[in-house]
Structure 1
Amino acid sequence: MNMPAHPAIIRAMVAADGRLLAADAPLLALQQEAGGDLGQMLAIPQLAAVVRLAAKLGVPVSRPLVAATERGDIDMWVRARPEADAVQIAVIDWHERPPVVPPVDLSRRESDIAALSEGWTWQIDTQLCFQMVLEGLGSEGVLPVAPPVPGSRFTSYFELRPDADGDLAILRGFAQRRAFRDQVASLSGDAGQRFMLSGFPMFDLGGQLVGYRGKALPLDRAVMAPLAPPEPVLLYPAEFGKRLDRSLRQPLGRIIANADSIGAQFEGPLRPDYVGYANDIAAAGRHLMALIDDLADLQTIDRPDFSVIAEEVDLADLARRAAGLFLVKALDRSICIVAPEPDASVPAIGEFRRALQIMMNLVGNAVRYAPEGSTVRIETGRDADQAWIAVLDQGEGVPVDSRERVFDKFERLGRSDPGGSGLGLYISRRLARAMGGDIRIDDAPEGGARFTLSLPALG
Structure 2
Amino acid sequence: MFEPRDIRPGHASAFDVLAAADPALAGAVVFECSSTGALFEANAAYTELERAAMLTPGELASRLVAALAPAGESVSASFTLELLSEPRHFHIRFVPVSTQARNELKFVGIMRESSTTVGERERETLAGWQGDELVRVNSDWYWETDSRGSLTSISRALELLVGQPAGALLGRPLTAIGTLLRGENGEVPYETAQARGSSFRDQLMSVTTQGGATRLYRLAGVAVPTKDGGCGYRGVAAVVPDSARLIERMRTELGRTAKANFLSSMSHELRTPLNAIIGFAEAMNHEVHGPLKAQYVEYAGDIANAGRHLLGLIQDLLDISSLDSGEIDLDTEDFDLAALIEQARAMVQMKASARNIDIKAVALDAPLRARGDRRRTLQILVNLLTNAVKFTPEGGFVGAEPATSLPGYVAVTVWDSGPGIAPEDQARVFEKFEQLPTPPYVASGEGTGLGLHISRRLAELMNGGLTLESHKGMGARFTLTLPVSD
**TM-score, normalisation: structure 2:** 0.44
**TM-score, normalisation: structure 1:** 0.47
Which structure is larger by alpha-carbon Rg, 1 or 2?
2
